[in-house]
Amino acid sequence: MSFKEILESIGLTAEQVTAVETGMQEAGIYLASEEGLDQKYADVKKELEKYDGAVIDDGSKDTRIAELEQENGRLKYQRAVDKAMAAYHVKNPEYISYLIGQKNAALKEDGTIDGIDEIMEGLKKNQPEFFETPAREKRRVEVKEWKESHKTGSETADTLKGAIAEKMGMGGTEE
């Protein structure tokens, strides 16, 4: 016999039975059909009390530490690669980073990559299109004084405008 049938058998109306069932659910009261459930609950509760405040190590902490150390090593390696690429003026960092990774170069304790200069020089020699040429220093041009080096004896040739006008036969005028 179900709980609902028991309530109806003692004379409760269908509305009253629904109200009782709803009230029980709201209060967190549930029915169980298994015998000895109270004893099983007490046993489980006693077993849980043994572990109250205890930390159970399932190995996930060590796994997480290893993952974080690996990620830290990867970030240090990438930072060293990025520094080297900046020093060599790399145009396509993703591709050059991939090529450096193919060389299996190890990260040294000082934060640099073992043999990075040789690797970068080799890549620069074999694939120069992926490297920028550093801006050349501006050449210094020595400017000679026009009046002294190009004077033709004419008074209008004392300025560049006058020299051009004189050369073209326009009889230049100075301003």
**Mean pLDDT (whole number) for 153-164:** 65
Residues 28 and 46 in one domain: yes
Could you give the number of structural domains in the chain? Answer: 3
pLDDT band at 11 (very low <50, low <70, confident <90, very high): very high
**Mean pLDDT (whole number) for 69-86:** 88
Among the three residues 93, 108, 130, which one is the final residue of a domain in this structure? Answer: 130
Residues 44 and 64 in one domain: no
Q: Is residue 135 part of a domain?
A: no
Is residue 121 within 8 Å of 90, Cβ to Cβ?
A: no
Residues 16-74: tens digit of each pLDDT: 999 998 998 888 887 766 677 778 888 888 888 887 777 666 778 888 888 999 998 88
Residues 23 and 71 in one domain: no
Q: Is residue 22 part of a domain?
A: yes
Q: Is residue 136 part of a domain?
A: no
Q: Is residue 137 part of a domain?
A: no
Average pLDDT of the residues of the chain: 79
pLDDT number for residue 138: 44
3-state secondary structure at position 131 = strand
pLDDT number for residue 152: 53
Residues 136-147: tens digit of each pLDDT: 544 555 555 555
Sign of CA dihedral 23, 25, 31, 36: negative
Residue 86 pLDDT > 50, yes or no? yes
Q: How far apart are CA 130 and CA 115, in angstroms?
A: 19
pLDDT number for residue 148: 53
Radius of gyration of the chain (CA): 45
Q: Is residue 87 part of a domain?
A: yes
Q: How far apart are CA 174 and CA 93, in angstroms?
A: 57
Residues 66 and 38 in one domain: no
pLDDT number for residue 103: 84
**Mean pLDDT (whole number) for 108-128:** 88
pTM greater than 0.85 (yes/no)? no
Q: How far apart are CA 103 and CA 89, in angstroms?
A: 19
Q: How far apart are CA 69 and CA 62, in angstroms?
A: 11
Which range of residues forms the domain containing residue 170? Answer: 142-175
Residues 106 and 152 in one domain: no
3-state secondary structure at position 90 = strand
Residue 15 pLDDT > 70, yes or no? yes
Residues 13 and 75 in one domain: no
